[in-house]
Amino acid sequence: MYLAAQRSDLDQLQARGRRRTLAPRAGIDFASNDYLALSGDPALAAAAAAALADGVALGAGGSRLLRGNAPEHERLEAAAARFFGVEAALFLANGYAANVALFSTLPQRDDLVLYDALIHASAHDGMRLGRARACPVPHNDPDAVADAIRAHRRACPDGTVWIAVESLYSMDGDRAPLAELADIADRHGAMLVIDEAHATGVWGADGRGLAASLAGRPNVVTLKTFGKALGCEGALVCGPAIVRDFLIARARPFIFSTAPSPLMAATAEASLDLMAAAGARRARLHSLIAFAERQLGPLGVTPTGTQILPLIVGEDSAAMALAAALQEDGFDVRGIRPPTVPPGTARLRISLTLNASEADVAALADALGRRRK
């Protein structure tokens, strides 16, 4: 039988309660990353319509090293570099592509990547494609990072150490100790790579992210995404100009990919302005976070102080059954299972966005209380 191995694998996933399937959007949004509700905002739609009316192309027509390098790409990168306070930025199709490009390209053969144990799958995929050795360190443990660097230096004094973290972790909702990690990087001559996907737009002055205070340092590289709080699509690698230059010269995901849509680049540039002016939205979201923690904390939801609130259930089937029950009640809450999260920590990932109100959160708390009895 053709594709027998694939059928068997899907059957095994089904038996273990881990087969992924697509589900339509339905119910009140407690699942998306549209934190500021910008994806459907009329101002962002108007910016896209204006760019289209001005003749901005839908498609790039090729990679950026051929004829796909549109003025909109370069304008976005220049605007983003100014906004985020870095020497240069490079625009890629999405955060996954950016992480794969970054980790497969920048660390060299004699280097070491020390990555947080809970870092995103896209970073893992980039490291697997790269030439440097990669080792995990315990989650949010700066002392373990420092110890690992010292041990590596004793055995291999050459090469660069890369410390790779997320500023706000997508499944646990907690924050990285960035100031301590930056100090460690400075003391040991290491590079610090910070994935700001879930912090950009929501945290920091004008939504610049949790790593905003580290902007412009010669040993800091950050990833910013447009597909979450900024409401559109694409991602930026930000940092020293040589990082941009090296990725253009060497990063296969950049070199051999059709460039992102020029229309999306123009829309993303507009989203930077909307984000900078979205102080009132951020304040409303932060207030909603505090309200949700008061409502959901007594029900077992972990208070994180951020827009991502996990409810650890444990068993895969139990987490998915609880998610399905809440979906029946009209709430779009999704269950998360291994391998996305460690075994035994299947959970509901409750994502707070301005697509939901305090009344919606209170109703979710009521439903969760009933469903967990």
d(CA 101, CA 252): 7
Single out the residue of 143, 118, 123 nearest to residue 134, CA to CA: 123
Active-site position among 29, 33, 269, 332: 33
How many CB atoms lie under 10 A from the CB of residue 10? 13
Question: Which residue type, as a one-letter code, is found at position 245?
Answer: D
Catalytic: 120?
A: yes
Using DSSP, state whether 213 is helix, strand or coil.
Answer: helix
Closest CA to 153 of 194, 128, 103, 189: 189
Is 198 a catalytic site residue?
yes
The catalytic position among 174, 228, 257, 261 is: 228
Measured CA distances, 241 to 165, 186, 188, 346 (Å): 21, 19, 22, 41
Q: Which of 170, 219, 271, 355 is catalytic?
A: 170
Query: Which of the following is catalytic: 72, 195, 269, 360?
Result: 195
For the chain, helix (H) and strand (E) counts, in that order, are 13, 12
Active site residue 166: yes
- The catalytically annotated residue of 120, 233, 316, 360 is 120
Catalytic residue among 29, 111, 166, 233: 166
Q: CA separation (Å) from 62 to 146, 240, 244, 258? A: 43, 26, 19, 5
Active site residue 224: no
Residue 112 neighbours by CB distance under 10 Å: 22
Q: Which two tokens stand for residue 257?
A: 């990919």
Query: Distance between CA 156 and CA 111 in Å, rounded?
Result: 9
Give CA–CA dist 138/342, Å, rounded: 13
* 87 catalytic residue (yes or no): no
Among residues 34, 72, 99, 198, the one annotated as catalytic is: 198
State the Cα–Cα distance between residues 44 and 227, nearest whole angstrom. Answer: 13
Catalytic residues: 33, 120, 166, 170, 195, 198, 228
